[in-house]
Amino acid sequence: MSGRSEHWDRVYRSKRETDVSWYQAKPELSLALIREYAPDKNSSVIDIGGGASPLAAELLRESYRDLAVLDISAATLEKAKDNLGGNASNIEWIVADVTEWKPERQWSVWHDRALFHFLTDDAAQDAYIRALNAATAPGAIAIISGFAPDGPEKCSGLSVVRYDAKSLSARLGERFDLLAEKREAHETPGGSVQKFYYAVLRKS
Ligand SMILES: C[S@@+](CC[C@H](N)C(=O)[O-])C[C@H]1O[C@@H](n2cnc3c(N)ncnc32)[C@H](O)[C@@H]1O
What are the pLDDT digits (tens) for 42-95?
Answer: 999 999 999 999 999 999 999 999 999 999 999 999 999 999 999 999 999 999
pLDDT over 70 percentage in the chain:
99
Write down the mean pLDDT value for the chain.
97
- In this prediction, residue 11 has a pLDDT band, given cuts at 50, 70 and 90, of very high
How far is it, in rounded angstroms, from Cα 194 to Cα 72? Answer: 23
CATH for 3-203 (2.60.40.10, 3.40.50.150, 3.40.50.10490, 3.40.50.2300): 3.40.50.150
**How many angstroms does the Cα of residue 195 sit away from the middle of ligand 1?**
17
Q: 70 - beta bridge partners?
A: 48, 94
Phi-psi region of 50 (alpha: psi -120 to 50; beta: other; left: phi over 0): alpha
Cα three-residue angle 121-93-125, rounded to 5 degrees: 10
The pLDDT of residue 2 is above 90 = no
The pLDDT of residue 171 is above 90 = yes
Least confident window among 3-7, 19-23, 72-76, 185-189: 3-7
How far is it, in rounded angstroms, from Cα 161 to Cα 148? Answer: 9
Q: pLDDT at position 1, please?
A: 47
Per-residue pLDDT averaged across 2-31, rounded? 94
| Alpha-carbon distance values, 147 to 27, 64, 65, 114, 124 (Å) | 16, 28, 30, 7, 18
Query: Which of 21, 102, 115, 120 is the best mutation target for the ligand 1 pocket, counting ligand atoms within 8 Å of the beta carbon and taking the most?
Result: 115
Q: pLDDT at position 3, please?
A: 85
The pLDDT of residue 166 is above 90 = yes
The pLDDT of residue 187 is above 60 = yes
How far is it, in rounded angstroms, from Cα 96 to Cα 49? Answer: 9
Compute how many other C-beta atoms are within 10 angstroms of the C-beta atom of residue 171: 18
Per-residue pLDDT averaged across 175-201, rounded? 98
How far is it, in rounded angstroms, from Cα 103 to Cα 106? Answer: 7
Compute how many other C-beta atoms are within 10 angstroms of the C-beta atom of residue 122: 9
For the chain, the structural domain boundaries read 3-203
Q: What pairing do the DSSP bridges indicate for beta strands 66-71 and 91-95? A: parallel
Query: Which of 14, 31, 71 is the best mutation target for the ligand 1 pocket, counting ligand atoms within 8 Å of the beta carbon and taking the most?
Result: 71
